[in-house]
Amino acid sequence: MPGRTWELCLLLLLGLVLGSQEALPPPCESQIYCHGELLHQVQMAKLYRDDKQFVDMPLSSAPEQVLQRFQELANAHNHSIPQQELQGFLKEHFQAMGQELQPWTPEDWKDSPQFLQKISDLKLRAWAGQLHQLWKKLGKKVKPEVLRHPERFSLIYSQHPFIVPGGRFLEFYYWDSYWVMEGLLLSEMPETVKGMLQNFLDLVQTYGHVPNGARVYYLQRSQPPLLTLMMDRYVTHTNDIAFLRDNIGTLALELDFWTENRSVSVSLGEKSYVLNRYYVPYGGPRPESYSKDAELAATLPEGDREALWAELKAGAESGWDFSSRWFVGGPNPNLLSSIRTSKFVPVDLNAFLCQAEELMSKFYTSLGNDSQATKYRNLWEQRLAALQAILWDEEKGAWFDYDLENGKKNQEFYPSNLAPLWAGCFSDPGVVDKALKYLEDSKILTYQYGIPTSLWKTGQQWDFPNAWAPLQDMVIRGLAKSPSPRTQEVAFQLAQNWIRTNFDVYSQKSAMYEKYDISNGGQPGGGGEYEVQEGFGWTNGVALMLLDRYGARLSSGTPTAFPEPHCLAAALLLGLLLRFLPQ
């Protein structure tokens, strides 16, 4: 029998290998919003400037009827429907995007939250008040018909209202919402935060994980796992232990998703370490970027296209869609077609999970469950050791993504290289000052308008010259953990640079943006797959966090060059003197 068992195992493995060369499953079952001829014909006809517009349009009747009518139309035109006919079909069977959502003013919004009084610069204080007003513009509530007829919508029903990023992003997104929630808590809006948290917890209960965003076409990919951190911020603000107790099992379920579906083993010498990666083994073009993905795949041999689409989805899961960070080691590290996201062990993902494991241990301790607290404490210690062994570079003073195929670190600069500082995922306090030296050696402190996303100019939005609010936060709050006044002063200067960029652009445009171009003074960012978006949830959240933290010192005035290392002592001394002057 053992021989027979071995043969069966071999056949099973062979089947898996052969199966992996066939089409991967679609991102969801819908033959309108996720795969099929209707989606293909509409998106490839490019009737809309943005592919996302079509997949966000609700149906006017049942999907079976729409599909039947489409099939009749396709058959009548030998599956090559003229554009005018296609437009008529869409007008008859679809509604305009956004119909399923209604504006919502948060009930816990109020004038003049306390943190505004911390801001000394009167122009910045007035601006912070305007950012606080923006929560009312970004509030949305799902209409009840989405609950009654979910099959007619790509939007996933949410019981509680929420804050959206803004612009083309009509629904809520996973990792964006963490920085939004930080801003909402400063705005003294904990009930809004609780409702948003409950929406995420409901998604985990239904699907086993938090999808990228609240659309069916996002279902098979997640985003950077910050749900446990969201809960920590909410509970710290409100002391709502009952809410934590009721939902701790759901937080554990979400972390299980990453363990079961996104883990990878990395060997070093005699030891093996388990870390995590972004990995979305689902095929076809992304529905919301269908034509772009299809056209990109057409540049590759047919046998390579499914793998490309899966890597694009993994890139979207990373939140960095897209970046040279995922192209390095490919045939051409400047081209999107070289994307190989799942072949990297990312620093930030593992820092987020490390932080979540430590928080879960803390949560279970506070709830009196010592066995679960010990389980997560052990997971945290194992990950800490893995980060140190596989991703940390003592000589450079930073962590680096690990390339699984090439067995080496990607030593390019990305702000994510310092994510473990932000996440508190390190054991030696001296690493914070080593990270400062790393920033100096990489010439990052020479950029006056913000920290660049990379030093590669590929035309992708998560590359130079764009700068993004969450990455500023990671570096600034990471450096601020240092006991060294000099390192703390650099953190302040970086905050000053970013606030000035946001404020100056707002002064010119009366808008906040998802990203900024820092190459020639602060401007709205560019590149990538769509026009730069206004709003903007996480940018507002980070601005409010920095204004809260450094409000006594931040200035709306003229930018100055970043102090050279030998000038920092003088800047530090001035900063200390200002603190002691009467207010």
Query: Residue 272's beta-bridge partner residues?
Result: 267
Helix residue ranges per DSSP H, 327-468: 347-366, 370-386, 419-423, 431-441
Q: For residues 469 and 538, is the Cβ–Cβ distance under 8 A?
A: yes
Q: Is 514 a catalytic residue?
A: yes
- What residues have CB less than 8 Å from 530, skipping those under 6 apart? 50, 52, 168
Instruction: Kindly name the residue from 100, 182, 321, 357 that is annotated as catalytic.
Output: 321
Token representation of residue 449:
């308008």
Residue 154 CA to residue 514 CA, distance in Å, equals 24
Query: Residue 169's beta-bridge partner residues?
Result: 166
The values of phi and psi at residue 439, to 5°, are -65, -40
Phi-psi region of 284 (alpha: psi -120 to 50; beta: other; left: phi over 0): left
Token representation of residue 499:
């606030």
Residue 399 CA to residue 346 CA, distance in Å, equals 10
Q: For residues 119 and 128, is the Cβ–Cβ distance under 8 A?
A: yes
Q: For residues 451 and 475, is the Cβ–Cβ distance under 8 A?
A: yes
Query: Residue 266's beta-bridge partner residues?
Result: 273
Token representation of residue 535:
């709003």
Residue 259 CA to residue 388 CA, distance in Å, equals 19
The values of phi and psi at residue 408, to 5°, are -150, 165
Q: For residues 285 and 316, is the Cβ–Cβ distance under 8 A?
A: no
Q: Is 504 a catalytic residue?
A: no
Instruction: Kindly name the residue from 232, 514, 517, 548 that is annotated as catalytic.
Output: 514
Residue 519 CA to residue 82 CA, distance in Å, equals 44
Residues 406, 411, 414, 420: is their CA dihedral positive or negative? positive
The values of phi and psi at residue 513, to 5°, are -120, 160
Query: Residue 101's beta-bridge partner residues?
Result: 142
Question: For the chain, how big is the Rg over CA atoms in Å?
Answer: 24
What angle do helix axes 63-76 and 83-93 make, rounded to 10 degrees?
160
Residue 399: closest CA among 424, 370, 371, 431: 431
Q: Supply the DSSP symbol for 366.
A: H
Query: Residue 345's beta-bridge partner residues?
Result: 402
Residue 237 CA to residue 158 CA, distance in Å, equals 24
- What residues have CB less than 8 Å from 137, skipping those under 6 apart? 166
Residue 415 CA to residue 401 CA, distance in Å, equals 12
Which residues are known catalytic residues? 321, 514
